[in-house]
Amino acid sequence: MSKNDRIIESLLFASPEPLTQKKLSNIFDSDVPDLKFSVERLNSFYNKNNQSIEIINVAGGYQLRTKQEFSIFIKKLFNNNFQNSISQAALESLSIIAYKQPVSKSLLESIRGVDCSGVIKTLLKKSLIQIKGRDDGPGRALLYSTSKEFLISFGIDKLSDLPKLKEINEIIGESNFDKQINAFK
């Protein structure tokens, strides 16, 4: 492993946000290493040496993460009480926002069939969604979309990485799911 790879590894370890090539350019005075190639070399090293960590592409950058197979132990470490855990209602609302964004509170409520004021406040407080603007219709309702924190929390690089609704339907294969899919259309 080169010195630059070790530097990048330490930056990934210390950075609370995904590391980007632009951030890396601000850190190195000259001869800025290619972040993508360093990440590939580091991941190759981790795999070759059967390490419990990996570097993933998330929210336009890279983050050092524990491999999924060890998540149960991390949960036990924190007594299954993650501060970032969200309720089923919040997860449902977040899914609707992710697939239909930007979305107004009234549209969200019409799809879910219940008041979503508390859920929206929770998602805003956890920075999983953001106010994207205002609707052009009467009352100029606020519009909500997912945030960069959403991408980071769910380990997604970009929204197009979310599974397509048709793919979900094929995996689940339940006719009841068809009704839920139609709510997104």
pLDDT at 20: 92
In a domain, 131, yes or no: yes
Domain match, 96 and 180 both: yes
In a domain, 165, yes or no: yes
Domain match, 26 and 101 both: no
Mean pLDDT for the stretch of residues 28-45 = 92
Domain match, 95 and 167 both: yes
In a domain, 41, yes or no: yes
pLDDT at 89: 86
Least confident residue range of 88-92, 98-102, 122-126, 145-149: 88-92
Mean pLDDT for the stretch of residues 144-152 = 91
pLDDT at 47: 94
Domain match, 95 and 155 both: yes
Domain match, 100 and 163 both: yes
Domain match, 102 and 167 both: yes
In the predicted model, what is the mean pLDDT of the chain?
A: 85
Domain match, 108 and 23 both: no
CATH label of the domain that carries residue 63: 1.10.10.10
In a domain, 157, yes or no: yes
Domain match, 31 and 53 both: yes
Mean pLDDT for the stretch of residues 32-45 = 94
Number of structural domains the chain divides into: 2
Q: Region of 34 please: left (phi>0), alpha (psi -120 to 50) or beta.
A: beta
Domain match, 58 and 105 both: no
- Flag whether pLDDT at 24 surpasses 70: yes
- Domain that residue 46 falls in: 3-74
Mean pLDDT for the stretch of residues 72-92 = 74
Q: How confident is the model at residue 184 (pLDDT cuts 50, 70, 90)?
A: low
In a domain, 162, yes or no: yes
pTM for the full predicted model: 0.61
Domain match, 98 and 55 both: no
In a domain, 80, yes or no: no
Residue after which a domain boundary falls, among 74, 96, 121:
74
DSSP secondary structure string for all residues of the chain: --HHHHHHHHHHHH-SS-B-HHHHHHH-SSS---HHHHHHHHHHHHHHTT-SEEEEEETTEEEEEE-GGGHHHHHHHTTT--TT---HHHHHHHHHHHHH-SEEHHHHHHHHSS--HHHHHHHHHTTSEEEEEE-SSTT--EEEEE-HHHHHHTT-SSGGGSPPHHHHHHHH--HHHHHHHHHH-
Domain match, 102 and 150 both: yes
Domain match, 150 and 175 both: yes
In a domain, 164, yes or no: yes
